[in-house]
């Protein structure tokens, strides 16, 4: 069936209930958002409430234009929002603030000095400079305070042989000679890391400042997400201790006692599900552990993530959200209420991210925060007060108190945003070709005239298991500010709409998801806001992969940008870091050649007519740059306008600020050249 026929057959009945986030800002003295504004935005994270509930610590990440890098600083704001204090030296980047059990100290991670390794530092809040708490040669990956004293848990990766040889050479004043990598692991590379050796990450106990860390977990396994029991006697952690951990995603919750003996403590396996169990959190009485689990083994990344509860002594776990048909967040661990009768989690639901509370006995779900917004992080004080980082379509993320009289506590970007006028954001639900409801967000230029049609850019999200949401989207606002309607569809594969919707893309890339994208374009055209003759499409990671699927199935797009995409899937097996996920979804390439080849759009590339820019990081091991090079070579060979942009030293996400500026500039110039040619009237021309 031809693509044009597919589009015209899409059932495009727009649901009567539309949601419009109106930009009611005053127009006088305001400007459209610029690239400089994008880089001036500051980003808040790591919200942590002090034990007495009087202060909230957090991190702010911002860009240092002179040094061409970003860095973070630690601040705290009073719970009434009246006082804000900077806590760390702006000369150094600092992240991950945590309070000591008595609130006397605040600890954080920082790498100080040229080439310094990340260590734990502590601030005595009664006064004085930050003191280095750890001195680990290879650095510390993460840490947590004891709930009963000043000891800490540390996550430390083993020192590799190459590191040890390099340290020995430096001590002798000798040059460090490169050596070949010798690889025998099944999974042997990782983005931002490179080739993997036989070193692993383990949990250590730091009894006090200056003491030698005591190793608590052992073996040829990676141990992550350590969590103290509130009584300080046990540590829960996550580990894949199967016979061949590189061959599966089967992580479990383990518990190890905190022992002051020289003998290595023995870890006890608490969960036995053959899928992913992670993000453990203890009840206040230390008797139960809540965690997040994905039980759908067929396409592990597509299944709902459920809240589970298990006795700390062992037993059969039970799901508290199995009937919900929505995913809870595994990035933010669950949090028990003070009485242990309910558990708080983040919940994705139809383009929103809510705060949900689940009753432990009845499994009843209530939503203390349910808005057209994105809840980014949250923390509770000892009296049940909720503090959260929230982002909305018109306000970048800030910290709010969500209980009592709701109050915005920080105003990190307020002064900047007062100078900017934004485009309106509209959430629209339409029906795809097979009748499935699909939602997309539509950004329109500031002050858009609804009688006119505008050039439109479809921005495709990564994953595919994630969702476009009601959070502030700076890059969509940037394109809108430059005269484009921006469409952000939540196509099949997206989270937030139930497991069956998410599984719609399982082993079927380029099918239902493409139908949803094209139906969304048709909806925007039929609504009168988008010009069918001036359409562009772009995306990164799975968004780039889907973008290739789109331009190989239709000539309707006049310009495309494929970021970290791919078209021929088979060569990526072993060349990227996703070997296990490829196998779980597509099977082994030599056993399922029909599927691997059938879903790959590579052989359709010579028929593409859309001018396309291919972009990626030179060091990307997530979607290796060879994919972009190969696709560029095909379009260049057949005479389609194309360009290849490779950022040196960058991995899957472009992080250097000057490169981010360059990338956004190039994207806008490409779409301006091939998509935009002026504004045309809806019924006639303009």
pLDDT one-digit tens code per residue, 309-326: 999 999 999 999 999 999
Please choose, from the candidates 294, 296, 305, the residue with its C-alpha nearest in 3D space to the C-alpha of residue 506.
296
Does the pLDDT at position 486 exceed 70? yes
Q: What is the pLDDT of residues 455-478, one digit of tens each?
A: 999 999 999 999 999 999 999 999
Residue 495: per-residue pLDDT: 94
Q: What number of other Cβ atoms are within 10 A of residue 208's Cβ?
A: 10
Residue 261: per-residue pLDDT: 54
Residue 24: per-residue pLDDT: 47
Please choose, from the candidates 684, 685, 676, the residue with its C-alpha nearest in 3D space to the C-alpha of residue 445.
676
Does the pLDDT at position 19 exceed 70? no
Residue 308: per-residue pLDDT: 97
**Model confidence band, residue 265 (pLDDT cutoffs 50, 70, 90):** confident
Tally DSSP H helices, then E strands, for the chain.
Answer: 12, 42
Q: What is the pLDDT of residues 562-588, one digit of tens each?
A: 999 999 999 999 999 999 999 999 999
The mean pLDDT of the chain is 91
Which residues, listed in sequence order, are joined to residue 616 by a DSSP beta bridge? Answer: 646
| Cβ partners under 8 Å of residue 68, min gap 6 | 656, 657, 658
The two three-digit tokens of residue 579, written as one number: 């070997």
Which of 2-11, 182-191, 228-237, 331-340 is least confident?
2-11
Which residues, listed in sequence order, are joined to residue 509 by a DSSP beta bridge? Answer: none
Which of 5-19, 296-310, 370-384 is least confident?
5-19
The two three-digit tokens of residue 319, written as one number: 């799901």
| Cβ partners under 8 Å of residue 468, min gap 6 | 351, 440, 441, 461, 488, 489, 490, 494
Distance set, CA 147 to CA 109, 234, 284, 426, 664 (Å): 19, 11, 11, 45, 45
Distance set, CA 227 to CA 282, 288, 316, 324, 334 (Å): 8, 12, 20, 27, 12
Residue 131: per-residue pLDDT: 93
> Which of left, alpha, beta for 464 (phi over 0: left; psi -120 to 50: alpha)?
alpha
**Model confidence band, residue 115 (pLDDT cutoffs 50, 70, 90):** low
Residue 298: per-residue pLDDT: 57
Does the pLDDT at position 304 exceed 70? yes
Please choose, from the candidates 649, 606, 656, 683, the residue with its C-alpha nearest in 3D space to the C-alpha of residue 194.
649
Does the pLDDT at position 686 exceed 60? no
In angstroms, rounded to a whole number, what is the distance separating the alpha carbons of residues 332 and 16?
35
Token pair 């915005």 is found at 408
What is the C-alpha end-to-end distance of the chain, expressed in Å? Answer: 35
Taking each helix axis from N to C end, the angle separating 542-551 and 512-526, rounded to the nearest 10 degrees, works out to: 70
Residue 14: per-residue pLDDT: 38
Does the pLDDT at position 303 exceed 80? yes
Please choose, from the candidates 141, 124, 227, the residue with its C-alpha nearest in 3D space to the C-alpha of residue 192.
141
In angstroms, rounded to a whole number, what is the distance separating the alpha carbons of residues 385 and 337?
10
Does the pLDDT at position 165 exceed 80? no
Helix then strand then coil, in percent of the chain rounded to 5, is 20, 35, 50
| DSSP per residue, 179-204 | -------SS-EETTTEE--S--EEEE
Give the CATH superfamily of 3-27+421-676: Alpha/Beta hydrolase fold, catalytic domain (3.40.50.1820)
Domain ranges for the chain, please list them.
3-27+421-676
Range 15-32 burial, b when 16+ CB lie within 10 A, else e: eeeeeebebeeeeeebeb
Residue 604: per-residue pLDDT: 97
Q: What is the pLDDT of residues 610-645, one digit of tens each?
A: 999 999 999 999 999 999 999 999 999 999 999 999
Residue 167: per-residue pLDDT: 73
**Model confidence band, residue 21 (pLDDT cutoffs 50, 70, 90):** low
Residue 114: per-residue pLDDT: 61
Does the pLDDT at position 674 exceed 90? yes
Residue 231: per-residue pLDDT: 96
Does the pLDDT at position 222 exceed 80? yes
Distance set, CA 178 to CA 170, 181, 371, 514 (Å): 14, 9, 55, 47
Residue 27: per-residue pLDDT: 53
**Model confidence band, residue 1 (pLDDT cutoffs 50, 70, 90):** very low
The two three-digit tokens of residue 395, written as one number: 């306000």
Does the pLDDT at position 264 exceed 90? no
Does the pLDDT at position 300 exceed 90? no
The two three-digit tokens of residue 645, written as one number: 């942009």
What H or E segment, with its residue span, contains residue 168? Answer: helix 161-171
Q: What is the pLDDT of residues 378-434, one digit of tens each?
A: 999 999 999 999 999 999 999 999 998 899 999 999 999 999 999 999 999 999 999
Residue 260: per-residue pLDDT: 56
- What is the torsional sign of CA 512, 516, 521, 522? positive
Please choose, from the candidates 402, 657, 675, 485, the residue with its C-alpha nearest in 3D space to the C-alpha of residue 561.
675
* DSSP 8-state secondary structure symbol assigned to residue 158: P
Q: What is the pTM of this model?
A: 0.92
Which of 213-217, 264-268, 303-307 is least confident?
264-268
Q: Which residue has the higher pLDDT, 660 or 22?
A: 660
Q: Is the peptide bond before 230 cis (omega within 30 degrees of 0)?
A: no
Contact 355, 375 (CB under 8 A): yes
Q: Please state the rounded mean pLDDT for residues 208-228.
A: 93
């Amino acid at each position: 069936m031809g693509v044009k026929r597919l589009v015209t057959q899409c059932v495009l009945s727009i649901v009567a209930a539309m949601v419009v986030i109106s930009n009611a800002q005053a127009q006088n003295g305001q400007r459209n958002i610029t690239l400089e504004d994008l880089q001036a935005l500051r980003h808040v994270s790591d919200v942590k409430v002090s034990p007495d509930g009087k202060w909230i610590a957090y991190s702010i990440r911002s860009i240092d234009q002179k040094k061409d890098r970003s860095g973070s600083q630690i601040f705290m704001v009073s719970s009434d929002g009246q006082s804000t204090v900077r806590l760390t030296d702006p000369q150094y980047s600092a992240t991950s603030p945590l309070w000591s059990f008595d609130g006397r100290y605040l600890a954080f991670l920082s790498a100080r000095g040229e080439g310094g390794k990340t260590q734990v530092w502590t601030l005595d809040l009664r006064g004085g400079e930050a003191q280095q708490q750890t001195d680990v040669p290879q650095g510390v990956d993460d840490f947590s305070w004891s709930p009963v004293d000043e000891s800490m848990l540390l996550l430390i990766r083993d020192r590799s042989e190459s590191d040890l040889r390099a340290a020995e050479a430096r001590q002798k004043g000798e040059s460090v000679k490169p050596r070949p990598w010798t690889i025998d692991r099944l999974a042997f590379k990782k983005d931002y890391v490179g080739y993997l050796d036989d070193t692993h990450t383990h949990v250590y106990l730091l009894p006090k400042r200056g003491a030698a860390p005591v190793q608590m977990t052992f073996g040829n396994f990676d141990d992550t997400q350590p969590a103290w029991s509130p009584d300080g006697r046990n540590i829960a952690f996550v580990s894949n201790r199967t016979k061949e951990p590189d061959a599966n995603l089967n992580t479990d919750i383990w518990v190890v006692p905190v022992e002051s003996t020289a003998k290595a403590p023995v870890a006890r396996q608490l969960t036995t599900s053959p899928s992913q169990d992670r993000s453990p959190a203890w009840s206040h009485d230390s008797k139960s552990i809540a965690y997040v689990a994905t039980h759908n083994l067929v396409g592990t990344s597509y299944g709902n993530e459920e809240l589970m509860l298990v006795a700390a002594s062992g037993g059969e776990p039970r799901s508290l959200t199995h009937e919900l048909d929505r995913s809870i967040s595994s990035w933010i661990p669950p949090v028990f209420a003070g009485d242990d009768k309910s558990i708080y989690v983040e919940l994705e639901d139809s383009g929103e991210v809510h705060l949900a509370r689940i009753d432990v006995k009845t499994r009843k779900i209530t939503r203390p925060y349910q808005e057209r917004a994105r809840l980014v992080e949250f923390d509770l004080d000892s009296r049940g007060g909720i503090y959260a980082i929230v982002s909305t379509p018109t306000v970048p993320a800030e910290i709010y108190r969500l209980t009592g009289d709701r109050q915005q506590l920080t105003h990190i970007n307020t002064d900047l945003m007062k100078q900017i006028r934004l485009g309106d954001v509209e959430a629209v639900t339409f029906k795809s070709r097979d009748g499935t409801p699909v939602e997309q967000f539509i950004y329109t230029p500031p002050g858009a005239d609804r009688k006119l049609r505008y050039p439109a850019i479809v921005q495709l999200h990564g994953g595919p298991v994630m969702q476009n949401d009601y959070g502030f989207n700076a890059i969509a606002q940037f394109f809108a500010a430059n005269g484009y309607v921006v469409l952000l569809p939540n196509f099949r594969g997206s989270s937030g709409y139930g497991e069956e919707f998410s599984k719609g893309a399982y082993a079927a890339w380029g099918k239902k998801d493409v139908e949803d994208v094209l139906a969304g374009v048709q909806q925007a055209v039929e609504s009168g806001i988008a010009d069918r003759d001036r359409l562009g499409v772009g995306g990164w990671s799975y968004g780039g992969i889907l973008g290739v699927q789109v331009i190989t199935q239709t000539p309707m797009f006049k310009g495309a940008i494929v970021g970290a995409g791919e078209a021929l899937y088979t060569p990526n097996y072993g060349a990227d870091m996703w070997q296990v996920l490829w196998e779980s979804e597509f099977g082994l390439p030599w056993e399922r050649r029909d599927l691997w080849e059938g879903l790959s759009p590579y052989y359709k590339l010579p028929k593409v007519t859309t001018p396309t820019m291919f972009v990626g990081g030179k060091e990307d091991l997530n979607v290796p740059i060879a994919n972009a090079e190969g696709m560029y070579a095909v379009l260049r060979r057949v005479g389609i306008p194309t360009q290849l942009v490779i950022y040196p030293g960058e991995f899957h996400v472009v992080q250097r600020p000057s490169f981010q500026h360059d990338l956004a500039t190039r994207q806008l110039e490409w779409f301006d050249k091939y998509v935009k040619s002026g504004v045309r009237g809806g019924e006639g021309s303009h």
